[in-house]
Amino acid sequence: AQSVTQLDSQVPVFEEAPVELRCNYSSSVSVYLFWYVQYPNQGLQLLLKYLSGSTLVESINGFEAEFNKSQTSFHLRKPSVHISDTAEYFCAVSDAGGFKTIFGAGTRLFVKA
Amino acid sequence: DTEVTQTPKHLVMGMTNKKSLKCEQHMGHRAMYWYKQKAKKPPELMFVYSYEKLSINESVPSRFSPECPNSSLLNLHLHALQPEDSALYLCASSQEAGATYNEQFFGPGTRLTVL
């Protein structure tokens, strides 16, 4: 069975500082990995995904994540955060051929001025 | 059009009421999903429809009844709900279920309150 662990429930950080949101997964099969972001009172939006190929994936708004198979991790990073990045971030995993996406518990990123 | 729309945005209902949530997408996606999300929790999968057929029911109580009238529409019929069913109900769609490109597109959700 697959599972996703987000190690931090909340991450407070000052504006323009770097941030890392941690995600570990467990699965016995090939997986696809996702980061979704949820702004207050909204649905989830895909931030980035790893399906195959290059282990470093980037989003259009400066986030990146690196798939590390040996450490079963898919941590999300941004070198300089903005106030507008304040949101809930969910790491998710689905297996190849699976119908389900399993979400982690979420990490609340709070960017302070 | 890369949007999933949901109506209504907010719904307040009594325990004896019958109501329906509606979800629509026009991206040609063949998989549609219902999730329930409680405050400060991740979305919990309720149902998956693939090619208009129910593929997954995550042991959801029968007071929730999904319906997929066509490939663009997904409904969730509600009857005799309990206060603990109050939550944000999210609809999502993806190109196909069980495929490599199963990135899901989410609607904004319906905030349901059961009195």
Using CA atoms, how far apart are residues A21 and A27, in angstroms rounded to an integer?
20
Reply yes or no on whether the pLDDT at A30 is more than 90: no
Contact state of B100 with A103 under an 8 Å Cβ cutoff: no
Which of A65, A76, A88, A69 lies closest to A26, judged by CA? A69
pLDDT one-digit tens code per residue, A79-95: 999 999 999 999 998 87
Question: What is the model's pLDDT at position A27?
Answer: 77
Contact state of B56 with A100 under an 8 Å Cβ cutoff: yes
Q: Please answer whether residues B44 and B60 qualify as being in contact, where contact means their C-beta atoms are separated by less than 8 angstroms.
A: no
CB under 8 Å to A67, separation ≥6 — which residues?
A33, A50, A55, A56, A57, A73, A74
**Residue B105 CA: distances (Å) to CA of A103, B31, B91:** 14, 10, 8
pLDDT one-digit tens code per residue, B1-23: 669 999 999 999 999 899 999 99
Residues in chain B with pLDDT < 50? Answer: none
| AA identity, residue A76 | L
Q: Please answer whether residues B100 and B94 qualify as being in contact, where contact means their C-beta atoms are separated by less than 8 angstroms.
A: no
Average pLDDT score over residue span A17-31 = 88
Using CA atoms, how far apart are residues B26 and B4, in angstroms rounded to an integer?
8
- For the ranges A14-23, A25-34, A60-69, which has the lowest average pLDDT? A25-34
Contact state of A105 with B50 under an 8 Å Cβ cutoff: no
Most B CBs within 10 A among A9, A34, A101, hence the mutation to make, goes to: A101
Question: What is the model's pLDDT at position A96?
Answer: 64
The string of DSSP codes covering B43-56 is -EEEEEEETTEEEE
Question: What is the model's pLDDT at position B100?
Answer: 56
Most B CBs within 10 A among A34, A94, A102, hence the mutation to make, goes to: A94
Average pLDDT score over residue span A55-65 = 89
Question: What is the model's pLDDT at position B68?
Answer: 96
Question: What is the model's pLDDT at position A97?
Answer: 65
What order of strands is seen across the sheet that includes strand B18-25? B4-7, B18-25, B73-79, B64-70
Using CA atoms, how far apart are residues A34 and A47, in angstroms rounded to an integer?
8
Task: Round the average pLDDT of chain A to a whole number and report it.
Answer: 90
Question: What is the model's pLDDT at position B108?
Answer: 94
Reply yes or no on whether the pLDDT at A12 is more than 90: yes
> Could you give the percent of chain A with pLDDT greater than 90?
63
